[in-house]
Amino acid sequence: MGIVSISFCTYKLWKWIIAKRKARRTKENGMLLLNKEESHKKFSSDNQKQVQELPLFNFEMLVNATSNFHLSNKLGQGGFGPVYRGKMSDGQEIAVKRLSRTSAQGLEEFMNEVVVISKLQHRNLVRLLGCCVEGEERMLLYEYMPNKSLDAFLFDPHKERLLDWKKRFNIIEGIGRGLLYLHRDSRLRIIHRDLKASNILLDKELNPKISDFGMARIFGSNEDQANTNRVVGTYGYMSPEYAMEGRFSEKSDVFSFGVLLLEIVSERRNSSFYNDEQSQSLLGLAWKLWNTNNAIALIDVMIYEPCFEIEILRCIQVGLLCVQEFAQDRPTVSDVVSMLKSEIVHPPLPMKPAFIERQIASDTDSSQRSQTECSVNNVTVTMVQGR
């Protein structure tokens, strides 16, 4: 009888332990622990549906994961709010983007990211893991990128040495593939609108992932461009038609990609001035060097090797094609990817980039649209950190 009693008690204890473990795992995962009616009451019915489709994490778990959002875990700050590094109880590292309560555009960006990126999956896009909507708290959880962002490498004299040409070209191709997926290959047509070095995250192998879809817009199948009265983004990366007229399209993203490409090759920011008395932006400098048959001078000395010269010069040419003044002259992302892979053997010659203060052309440059001076626009020289 005693043995039976002991066996029964042991069985009950085992069942209790299993139940506790299961409950703890559920809590740690944070899935569906919210009172949805309370948590979503400030969202429209459509937004509630979008949020409920995502894995939901509770606030307490994220407090623990980020050590109560400790400053030492802060990765950065954008227009949406601060971003923190977190570590789950199972050891998984995450990035937590916490909506700032003072951000006027934050809630709109929050829902925009939920709607856009939750429907996308590609190796060159950052992966959304879930969200937290509890009380006044709004947070998005992403896979953690241990190497942070491209600009942290590219413009840091101590880290840029880690990016040789092969790694940089891999980053260029990866960004191109990610952008091609957004424009053509995903179930939605997405215009990112804020492509820049700080929005390109790098995983542990330095593979690029496009991030930050708060400004992104979904295009219909028959829609080629759209207009907005609220221009958002980062000066230096914005196309002229978007910065000055509020018109955006796939070609707006192509322009931003071209700026990125030239920055990666040269290790120079487009928001700074370079070279001579003309105080040129990166685009102006690249154009001048191209037209004087000296584009090789644009290349970062840290990556230059004669065996890579043709490939790097091709990237400069593609970059200049992407930043041409008129949107209709710029290539599609599909053509850009083909040119980078040398599938298009002879890319066209670029015409004048946008935002050039003064016409800089060689005597043989007969392809120019105009020999008149272009008005100065500070959009290329003032960096506004809108994110």
- Quote the mean pLDDT of the chain: 81
Residue 82, number of CB atoms within 10 A of its CB: 17
pLDDT tens for 127-161 read: 999 999 888 889 999 999 999 999 999 998 888 78
Query: Are 214 and 129 in the same domain?
Result: no
Look at residue 314 and tell me if it is in a domain. yes
Residue ranges making up the domain that contains 344: 150-380
**In this predicted structure, what is the pLDDT of residue 62?**
96
Query: Which range, 15-19, 28-32, 73-77, 194-198, has the best average confidence (pLDDT)?
Result: 194-198
Q: Among residues 254, 209, 210, 256, which one has the least CA distance to residue 232?
A: 256
Q: What is the pTM of this model?
A: 0.79
The model's confidence at residue 252, banded by pLDDT at 50, 70 and 90, is very high
* Residue 276, pLDDT score: 53
Contact predicate 227/246, CB 8 Å: yes
pLDDT tens by residue, 323-358: 999 999 999 999 999 999 998 889 999 999 998 864
For residues 188 and 327, state if they share a domain.
Answer: yes
Can you give the pLDDT at residue 375? 33
On whether both 138 and 154 belong to a single domain, the answer is no
Length of the chain: 387
Q: Which of 121, 143, 165 is the last residue of a domain?
A: 143
In angstroms, the CA 178 to CA 119 distance is 14
Structural domain count, the chain? 2
**226 contacts 248 by C-beta, under 8 angstroms:** yes
The interaxial angle of helices 309-322 and 282-291, nearest 10 deg, is 120
Residue with tokens 């020289």: 381
Average pLDDT, integer, range 155-171: 91
Alpha helices in 155-198 (DSSP H): 165-180
Question: Buried b / exposed e across 237-266, counting CB within 10 Å, b at 16+?
Answer: bbbbbbbeeebbbbbbbbbbbbbbbbbbbb
- 166: closest CA among 64, 356, 355, 311? 311
pLDDT of res. 110 = 81
* C-alpha to C-alpha distances, 181 to 185, 188, 241, 248, 306, nearest whole angstrom: 4, 9, 23, 18, 33
One-letter amino acid of 147: N
> Is position 194 annotated as part of the catalytic site?
yes
> Tens digit of pLDDT for each residue in 88-128?
999 999 999 998 876 656 677 788 888 888 888 899 999 99
Q: Is 201 helix (H, G, I), strand (E, B) or coil?
A: strand
One domain, residues 74 and 214: no
Q: Are residues 154 and 138 in the same domain?
A: no
Both 225 and 114 in one domain: the answer is: no
The enclosing domain of 189 has a CATH number of 1.10.510.10
Question: Per the domain annotation, does 167 fall within a domain?
Answer: yes
Query: Is the residue at 200 inside a domain?
Result: yes
Do 275 and 301 have their domain in common?
A: yes
Given a cut of 70, whether residue 5 has pLDDT beyond it is no
pLDDT of residue 45: 53
224 by DSSP, 3-state: which? coil
Whether 137 is covered by a domain: the verdict is: yes
Instruction: Give 201 or 274, the one with higher predicted confidence.
Output: 201
Q: Is 236 left (phi over 0), alpha (psi -120 to 50) or beta?
A: left
223 and 300 part of one domain? yes
Closest alpha carbon to 381 in 359, 350, 356: 356
Q: Is residue 10, in this structure, part of any structural domain at all? A: no
Instruction: Look at residue 276 and tell me if it is in a domain.
Output: yes
CA distance 311 to 347: 13
Same domain assignment for residues 79 and 163:
no
| Co-location of 158 and 138 in the same domain | no
Q: What is the CATH number of the domain that holds 73?
A: 3.30.200.20
Select which of 156, 194, 329, 365 is catalytic.
194
Confidence (pLDDT) at 186 = 87
- Our measurement of the distance from residue 70's CA atom to the centroid of its chain's CA atoms, rounded to an integer in Å, reads 25
Least trusted range by pLDDT, from 28-37, 146-155, 303-312: 28-37
